[in-house]
Amino acid sequence: MDCVKVLLDGGKGGVESGLKNVSSHCSISEMDDYDLSKLLERPRLNIERQRSFDERSLSELSVGLSRGLDHYESAYSPGRSALDTPASSARNSFEPHPMVADAWEALRRSLVHFRGQPVGTIAAYDHASEEVLNYDQVFVRDFVPSALAFLMNGEPDIVKNFLLKTLQLQGWEKRIDRFKLGEGAMPASFKVLHDPVRRTDTIVADFGESAIGRVAPIDSGFWWIILLRAYTKSTGDLSLAETPECQKGMRLILALCLSEGFDTFPTLLCADGCSMIDRRMGIYGYPIEIQSLFFMALRAALAMLKHDAEGKEFIERIVKRLHALSYHMRSYFWLDFQQLNDIYRYKTEEYSHTAVNKFNVIPDSIPDWVFDFMPTRGGYFIGNVSPARMDFRWFALGNCVAILSSLATPEQASAIMDLFEERWEELVGEMPLKICYPAIESHEWRIVTGCDPKNTRWSYHNGGSWPVLLWLLTAACIKTGRPQIARRAIDLAESRLLKDSWPEYYDGKLGRYIGKQARKYQTWSIAGYLVAKMMLEDPSHLGMISLEEDKQMKPVLKRSSSWTC
């Protein structure tokens, strides 16, 4: 429990700010190919980091692991950082914002221990709130920014403990009433119960059986794989991902989402409420959030799966799915001015293979707001595409993850960033970042949400503003070479977050009001801020959570008979 000690000691410098010193080495020759400091207007920092696992291991050491994707990420991996230039005092020093120390303190307060080991962080540490609901649990998705903060601060153990603990939970038999869930399902959350008399710790997990709506979290398994890669990449410790347990865990998750069925689309069919938006919000079908995470998890797994008999089968399935999925998403989910105009002029009732309007979308179903919202410059992946239904809403998480995973082509990625600039007021307003845009109101709200009083217009999941999304925006900004956008958003967050006690979300068209039912000291608001700050200060951290465009897979693509575009 070093971390707790660090906090209580209340020492100076790194300790005071909650930061541990990260010392590791990499040589000048390793950082030649991409000068990340060019992306930043800020002075360079003298932070030395470990070489990332893919440089040392995937390419050099491990014959067993995929030779693929991570080669192309070296530009952003810590070891290739262009930041370790010779120290030159004042130019390289930076004063942490006073909020940073506070944030670390709050983050450490949220740590959850199991038999003496830290295994996660609770969702919110809000003692003032009358109802705890399930905010005293460790949510898989909520832990991701906490995990990244700890990794970036050179504290990987808690992340390893979390990955192993959730892996054990995956092994549990999961039932909802009399129905048994797929073996690979990962929990939405778990809770550690301490028995002070018997001095024992036990865990209870929720796989959807106690969640509102009884929906299993599809995103948990994807985040688990993404986090395993982040851990491996940041520590260079390949041994965890290579254990038979982790390999099996990945295969079980993949088996769930790569299984054959009646699908005609490569996207993943989902129930409402299966992800961060865990209440009915009309995102059933093929929500962008899940498709982006699916894509990213497939790519991360591809880099970590062993080429043994069991692994190989999955590798082949992943490669095929990635081709089909990227084609489908880039063609049918993408919307910009030109595409909108094309859809507006669609003919309907087209049969056969020559159809242009493949899903028979009726132009009259295009909502009015989208014509005004769409700038001439910019674009985004829309919320959902299924037969005769395009959900034109913009969702933050799906679009940012599409950039980070390189589901978005470089042109699409920069168009998404253009949209942020063009529609700053709508998407960022006074508090980064809207979870989706626009809100649904009146009759539509009644029908779509089932009259959900928590999801009224411009609140919570219905157009509310979520500070946690700041880390995703920042990562996307760094990847696309637009750090100034992130800085602007971070400045906004810094003017409010601490003063408002780290709310879970804000309400209103501009995100100006603390959310009606928002928790205070919401852990992922705190961790999201820290991750955003650390990434902007040292952009080489981006490698943990970003995948470069996959150039190696393209030749395979062209040879594939299923490739028809």
Residue 415 beta carbon to ligand GLC: minimum distance, rounded to whole angstroms: 27
C-beta of residue 279 within 8 angstroms of C-beta of residue 213: yes
| Nearest one of 500, 494, 426, 499 to 465, comparing CA atoms | 426
How big is the site for ligand GLC, counted in residues (CB under 6 A)? 6
Q: Which is nearer to ligand GLC, 276 or 439 (CB)?
A: 276
Shortest distance (Å) from residue 516 CB to ligand GLC: 14
Encoded tokens for 204? 């209870």
CB 54 within 8 A of CB 103: no
CB of 146 to ligand GLC, least distance (A): 11
Short-list 382, 258, 397, CA closest to 330:
382
In the complex, what is the shortest distance from the CB of residue 460 to ligand GLC, in angstroms, rounded to a whole number?
Answer: 8
Residues 64-123 that bind ligand GLC (CB under 6 A): 123
Q: What is the C-alpha separation between 416 and 400, in angstroms, rounded?
A: 8
Minimum CB–partner distance for residue 276 and ligand GLC (Å): 4
- Dist. CA 344–CA 476, nearest whole Å: 30
**Closest among 254, 415, 389 to 322, alpha carbons compared:** 254
Minimum CB separation of residue 273 from ligand GLC in Å reads: 9
- CA–CA separation, 351 vs 155, rounded Å? 57
CB 341, CB 376: distance < 8 Å = no
d(CA 383, CA 561): 30
Cα separation, 264 vs 283, in Å, equals 19
362, 241 in Cβ contact below 8 A? Answer: no
352: left (phi over 0), alpha (psi -120 to 50) or beta: left
The nearest distance, CB 139 to ligand GLC, in angstroms, is 4
CB 236 within 8 A of CB 51: yes
Nearer to ligand GLC, 223 or 294 (CB): 223
User: Of 141 and 393, which has the nearer Cβ to ligand GLC?
Assistant: 141
- In the bound complex, what is the minimum distance in angstroms from residue 71's beta carbon to ligand GLC? 34
- The nearer residue to ligand GLC, 120 or 378, going by C-beta atoms, is 120
The secondary structure element, H or E, covering residue 144 is helix 140-152
Q: Among residues 220 and 326, whose Cβ is nearest to ligand GLC?
A: 220
CB of 282 to ligand GLC, least distance (A): 15
Nearer to ligand GLC, 140 or 532 (CB): 140
> Strands (DSSP E) along 179-242, which ranges?
179-180, 189-195, 200-206
DSSP conformational letter for 342? H
Burial zone of 491 (CB within 10 Å; 0-12 exposed, 13-18 middle, 19+ buried): exposed
| Residue number with CB closer to ligand GLC (139 or 333) | 139
Instruction: In angstroms, give the least distance from the CB of 3 to ligand GLC.
Output: 21
* Residue window 116-155: x/- pattern of binding to ligand GLC, with contact defined by CB under 6 A: -------x---------------x-xx-------------
Residue nearer to ligand GLC on the CB measure, 288 or 303: 288
Residue 142 vs 548, nearer CB to ligand GLC: 142
Nearer to ligand GLC, 334 or 502 (CB): 502
Strand partners, 379: 336
222 binds ligand GLC, rule: CB under 6 A: no
Q: Residue number with the shortest CB distance to ligand GLC? A: 123
Closer residue to ligand GLC, CB minimum distance, 106 or 322: 106
Coil, strand, or helix at residue 140?
helix
Residue 60, class by beta-carbon neighbours within 10 Å (0-12 exposed, 13-18 middle, 19+ buried)?
exposed
Touching ligand GLC, residues 239-298 (CB under 6 A): 276, 278
Residue showing tokens 């959310």: 515
What residue type is 52 in one-letter code? S
**Shortest Cβ 129–ligand GLC spacing (Å):** 12
Binding site for ligand GLC (CB under 6 A): 123, 139, 141-142, 276, 278
